[in-house]
Structure 1
Amino acid sequence: MDTMFRPIAPGPVHRWGGAALIVARRPDLHGTPVLSPAEQRVVRALPAWRQAEWAAGRLLAKRLAGEVAGAPAAGVEVLPRDDGSPCAFVGGSPLPGVHLSISHTAHHVAAALAPEPVGVDLCETASAAAVRRVADHALSPEELRLVGTDRPETLAGAWALKEAAVKADRSGVFGAAPRRIVILGLRPPVLGGRRRAMVWRAGDAVLALVLARGRAADAPRGPS
């Protein structure tokens, strides 16, 4: 298949730029994550349609954090900070010196851990038409000329880069934040500011990873 981005294999842990990254197809995920009482309270508060994708993301994040920490996945908790971003806990304490990011779509799940603020995002190429409709919100005229609007993969890649970057910045995709993150190149991906980025093809989705140096982290919310 002709692809702009190099493929990434689902299943194993990949390393890039100091980050650990794992991606999987949701149908290939087997097993139900063992949820702590705190995690159960979080998932019960979600709408019913979000609970399965939330659980799939935490299953993958627990596997990744457990492998990085050398702990059983069942002993890892993934709980939200006050801003909603995920934080990994082992033995009731935040996993020291790492940042966690999770992404999920209807068909794929990804998680990343890094010693600096990290964002990971998946965008299905089938979502390119939806991205095209809202492109003016996130992409400047210069970025639109760089990305183009006639190739689903590049649109998905640009959107995933913006999403991953705002996650690393601990901001949101709504409002002015995406416009402040400038895409200077797609192959290889280059972003403005103190950011490093990479993009892969993951089956029918595009996967972006962004590392943001020098970003302050809020104190995580502990298990309760």
Structure 2
Amino acid sequence: MTPGTDTRPGVFRPITPGHPHRWGGALLAVARRGDLDRAPALSALSALSALSAAERRVADVLPARRRAEWAAGRLLAKRLAGELLAVPEDGVEVLPRADGSPYVLVGGSPVAGVHLSLSHTPGHVAAALAPEPVGVDLCETSSADAVRRVADHVLSPRELALTGTDRPEALAGAWALKEAAVKADRRGVFGAAPRRVAILGLCPPVLGGRRRAMVWQAGGAVLALVLAPGAGRP
């Protein structure tokens, strides 16, 4: 069966939260928000106080309800960057560009050749680093009904057919793939950009162009990773 005819995707492969994984040259991790403070591997970076002064300035202007999510994503990214670059985690900063996309600094200087993407929901956080443009996105399975209400703006009729009508994880996966792809392109999920990313198959995920993608089930969320060589803006 070709990817384009897969109208009944199976369950996405599970991914273990709290541990780094490698896929396609990317290093990624997903964690449950409630586990961040308890996981030994993350305990050293489990509080807002672990943020640098520059990171705290960004966090301080966020609404209180978003501040903890934002910080959790950065702390997870610090752990991954420390492992990838073999540097102390407390020497890593994650700051936003003018367009809001994150980038990595070590010792106050941007790190060349390392692309970063982050995603956070009320229940989960995820981070991915790669030597090429990368996008990562989480969508809670419980959000499938909300996604369906706006899906016509992002998914084509053919893509909606791939998700079926009774598979909330499939709809969450399609949405997460679109979000991850436009993050790799450093574009927004609303507007014309998502329509230019064609989902040709969902399980396994296949996207148009040179993009490579994977989708996992992460507890109550679906996690999508997209690598897009040559994408992004300088």
- TM-score bucket (shorter structure): over 0.9
* Corresponding position: 1:7 with 2:22: no
Matches within 5 A, 1:131-146: 131-146=147-162
Equivalents in 1 of 2:21, 2:112: separation in Å? 20
TM-score (norm 2): 0.90
Q: How does 1:153-164 map to 2 (within 5 A)?
A: 153-164=169-180
- For 1:80-91, list aligned pairs within 5 A: 80-91=96-107
- What is the rounded CA distance, in whole Å, between the counterparts of 1:132 and 1:150 in structure 2? 11
Paired with 1:68 and 1:96, the residues of 2 have a C-alpha distance of 13
CA offset digits 1:108-145 (Å, max 9, x no partner): 11000000000000000000000111110110111111
1:29 correspondence with 2:70? no
Counterpart residue type for residue 162 of structure 2: L
Instruction: State whether structure 2 residue 66 is matched by structure 1 residue 50.
Output: yes
* Post-superposition offset of 1:41: 1.0
Tell whether the 8 Å contact from 1:128 to 1:155 is kept in structure 2 after alignment.
Answer: yes
> Secondary structure in 1 aligned to 2:149?
helix
- Out of 190, 193, 207, the residue aligned to residue 209 of structure 2 is 193
State the 1:36 CA deviation: 1.5
Following superposition, the deviation at residue 149 of structure 1 comes to: 2.8
Pairwise mapping of residues 17-166 of structure 1 onto structure 2 (< 5 A)? Answer: 17-30=24-37, 31-33=46-48, 34-166=50-182
Q: CA deviation at 1:184?
A: 0.1
Work out the CA distance in 1 between the residues paired with 2:232 and 2:148: 32
How big is each residue's C-alpha offset from its partner over 1:36-55, in whole Å with a ceiling of 9 and x where there is no partner?
Answer: 22111111111111101001
Q: Which stretches of structure 1, 4 residues or more, deviate above 2 A after TM superposition? A: none
The structure-2 alpha-carbon separation of the partners of 1:149 and 1:27, relative to structure 1 and needing over 3 Å to count, comes to same
Structure 1 contact 168–212 (Cα < 8 Å) conserved: yes
Give the distance between the partners of 1:52 and 1:146, measured in 2 at CA. 35
Q: Give TM-score, length-normalised by structure 1.
A: 0.94
Q: Is the CA contact (8 Å cut-off) linking 2:139 and 2:175 kept in structure 1?
A: yes
Number of residues of Structure 1 aligned to a counterpart in Structure 2: 217
Tell me whether 1:205 sits opposite 2:212 in the alignment: no
Q: Name structure 1 gaps, 5 residues minimum.
A: 219-224
- Residues 134-160 of structure 1, C-alpha deviations (whole Å, 9 max, x = no match): 110110111111222321010000000
AA aligned to 2:131 is P
The aligned runs of 1:161-176 (5 Å cut-off) are 161-176=177-192
Q: CA deviation at 1:20?
A: 0.2
List runs of 5+ in structure 2 lacking aligned partners. Answer: 1-9, 38-45
Shift of 1:23: 0.6
Does the 8 A contact of 1:132 with 1:149 survive in 2? no
State the alpha-carbon separation in 1 of the partners of residues 169 and 205 from structure 2.
Answer: 13
Q: Percent identity?
A: 75
State the Cα RMSD in Å: 1.3
Q: For residues 182 and 165 of structure 2, what CA distance do their matches in structure 1 show?
A: 22
Distance 2:99 2:106 in 1: 20
Deviation at 1:217, TM superposition (A): 3.7
